[in-house]
Amino acid sequence: MTPAELEAARDRVVPDVVAEGLRVLFCGINPGLMTAATGHHFARPGNRFWPALHASGFTPRRLRPSEQAELVTYGLGITNVVARASARADELSDEEYREGGRILEEKVLRLRPRWLAVAGVTAYRVAFGDKKAMIGPQTRTIGETRIWALPNPSGLNAHWTLPAMAEEFARLRAAAEAEGWAETEG
C-alpha cells in the first residue's frame, strides 16, 4: 500500500462487524489508515489485536484481518469509539471521544453484547468520563452489558508486550466463560 493510498483513506469510516447478543464486542479507538484503506479492522501488520485474540483462546486459530466476518461465528464483534480513520489516535479531539462514547452507548444498548471490551484505556477514560479507569473490568455497565478496558493493541503501545496483552485478553475470556460463555459456544 502506497503512502498516497493510505492518505486517501483518512476520515473514511469502516463498517462494524456486529450482531445482536454477542458475547464480546471489541471496541478499538478508531480505524487507522491501513484499516480504512483495506476495510478490515486492526489491519496494520504491527497491530497485536489478532495475535492476542488467538493467543488468549478467543479464536481457534489466528484470523487475518480479511477474515473479520468470521468473528461473529464465535460470538465476537468489532466497533470503534470514533468512526473516522486517522493516522494516529492523538489526532482525535476529546469532543470526538465523548461523542463517540455517546454513540457507542446507543449501539451497545441496541445490540446487547454481554461484554464491551474497549481496546485502549485512555480512550475509554475520555469517552466515558472515567478519569480513574484502569485496565480490567469496570464498575460501570451499559444496560446489562459489562465493560472491560483492554490495552491498546497498536504497535505504538510498546509498554504492553504481546504475551502480557494476550494474558489480559485471557482474563476477559475467563470472566466471560464464568458467566456461561463456554456452555453457549457454537
Candidates 149, 136, 156, 24; CA nearest to 88 is 156
Cα–Cα distance between 51 and 9 in angstroms, integer? 24
Catalytic residue among 30, 47, 80, 152: 30
Amino acid making up residue 163 = P
Catalytic residue list contains 152: no
Residues 6+ apart with CB under 8 A from 27: 78, 79, 80, 81, 104, 116, 117, 118, 119
Q: Are 146 and 23 in contact (CB under 8 A)?
A: no
Q: How far is CA 180 from CA 27, 170, 175, 176, in A?
A: 22, 15, 9, 7
Catalytic residue among 40, 41, 80, 152: 41
Catalytic residue list contains 157: no
Catalytic residues: 30, 41
